[in-house]
Amino acid sequence: MRDKIFAIDRISQRQKVSNISENDIDVIGLARKDEEVCIEMFYVRNSKMIGRDHYIFKGLEDEEDSEIISSFIKQYYMGRTILPNKIMIKEEIEDKDAIEMLLTESAGRKVEIKTPQKGEKLKFVEMAENNALITLQNKEKDKYNILAELKHVLNLEKLPRKIECYDISNLSGTNMVAGMCVMQDGIIKKEMARRFKIKEVVGQDDPACMEEVVTRRLRHSVPILNEDKPNGFGELPDVIFADGGITQIHAIQQAIRNVNKEIEQKQKKKHRINRKR
């Protein structure tokens, strides 16, 4: 059924393109979802769509759509000699004239950037925008499906929305460090990555280093151990992965036991203090 729907969509697109008199155009559509931006491109030659591409970007939340489109056109087309006669976009860009001049010079003929206001050309730009949004939505579904499969394989009670991965490394057996990367809802969060210096373990003992690092990290997300201080680690992870085999897994399990024991001791101490009052 999905393939049939996709085929019908393609037929519908070809029918719409056939109503466009332009022979050599590129159509650019933009859509946003959460932290991602997708740019969809349609390539029309002789009134037929001969192909399409999409490009996904992150970290553009503070940029206007017109700014993103302008930057994309300059990066995508500059240096190319084979260019369309026209590029169709949804809204005007500030440096349109300058970009047209550069593209015209590169192609050796006139290249225009158009913003259709009505008719089939506008519908075609809107169709590119709709496809860009569908691309982002399908990407989101793919992430969910991967997390759902991981939940099933690991026999978890809920989706592993937050995943942390750890690795221990060293330089010639000294200067031991650990790295942590984080994935939230299927997206790698670079800003949450951390590097830990090993403080307690002497010598090259990877499992002991793993136990130390994970114990320290988990403390940050437990208010009773962190004295309710703000921390840059956020909530506790749903799953922890480690590079290094079963000994590293045992080290992580011990780290969890360490933190649970500390929580229990803190709670007992707090209870005794409250009773004395």
Domains of the chain by residue range: 16-150, 162-275
Question: Going by C-beta distance under 8 Å and a sequence separation of 6 or more, which residues neighbour residue 21?
Answer: 47
What pTM did the predictor assign? Answer: 0.59
**Residue 139 pLDDT:** 86
Q: Give the whole-angstrom CA distance, residue 247 versus residue 185.
A: 28
Q: Stretch 237-245: mean pLDDT, rounded?
A: 91
pLDDT digits (tens, 9 = 90+) for 39-70: 999 999 887 888 999 999 988 989 999 999 99
pLDDT band at 5 (very low <50, low <70, confident <90, very high): very low
List the Cα angle 167/168/170 in 5-degree steps.
140
CA distances to 39, 156, 159 from 100, in Å: 20, 55, 49
**Residue 230 pLDDT:** 64
pLDDT score of 21 more than 60: no
Q: Give the whole-angstrom CA distance, residue 50 versus residue 14.
A: 9
48 beta partners: 45
Residue type, 258: N
Contact status, residue 43 vs residue 50, Cβ threshold 8 Å: yes
* Third-level CATH fold of 16-150: Nucleotidyltransferase; domain 5 (3.30.420)
pLDDT score of 211 more than 80: yes
**Residue 2 pLDDT:** 43
pLDDT digits (tens, 9 = 90+) for 93-142: 999 999 999 999 988 899 999 999 988 889 989 999 999 999 999 888 88
The tokens of 125 are what?
């730009």
* Third-level CATH fold of 162-275: Nucleotidyltransferase; domain 5 (3.30.420)
Q: What is the DSSP secondary structure assignment for residue 237, as one 8-state letter?
A: P
Contact status, residue 37 vs residue 68, Cβ threshold 8 Å: yes
Contact status, residue 136 vs residue 143, Cβ threshold 8 Å: no
Q: Give the whole-angstrom CA distance, residue 51 versus residue 48.
A: 9
**Residue 276 pLDDT:** 58
